[in-house]
Amino acid sequence: MKWIAAYAGALVSFGALEVLWIRWAGPNLYRPALGELMADNARGAPAIAFFLIYAVGMVWFAVRPGLSGGLSQAAINGALLGAVCYATYDLTNQTTLKVWPTYITVTVIAWGAFATSVAATAATFLVQKLG
């Protein structure tokens, strides 16, 4: 039961943060730099697939160690996971696309580290309280 709670906590907290991010970053960060490469609207199915898969990674790599190492361990592991995963995406884009500014890469890596850290910490806290 604790793993279901961990997964749900990670999924809901990260999903809420990402919805806020996408709503802000789409028009303010991505569209000015990427223009016509941007879809008119964010596609829900790929986003949901990402959230469902990413929450598994958060639970395994950040929440699970946080349950024995404490909230700070969950926060650190979450930040590291987020930075690595978001760096993979953004640095690949910067490598392969004609238009992908460095400031987007740096901003999005920082966002990934922050959002994953917060979500992993929230999920760990939830499991500890249920516990």
Domain residue limits at 65:
2-130
Is residue 41's pLDDT more than 90? no
Q: Which residues contact residue 89 at a Cβ distance below 8 angstroms, ignoring those fewer than 6 apart?
A: 108
CB atoms within 10 A of CB 104: 19
Residue matched to tokens 């999903």: 15
Enter the pTM of the model: 0.96
pLDDT band at 131 (very low <50, low <70, confident <90, very high): confident
- The angle formed by the CA atoms of residues 89, 10 and 84, to the nearest 5 degrees, is 25
What pLDDT, on the 0 to 100 scale, is given for residue 7? 98
Share of the chain above pLDDT 70, in %: 100
- Rg (the chain; Cα; Å): 15
What pLDDT, on the 0 to 100 scale, is given for residue 85? 98
Distance CA 116, CA 55 (A): 9
Average pLDDT for 52-69: 97
Split into its structural domains, the chain has a count of: 1
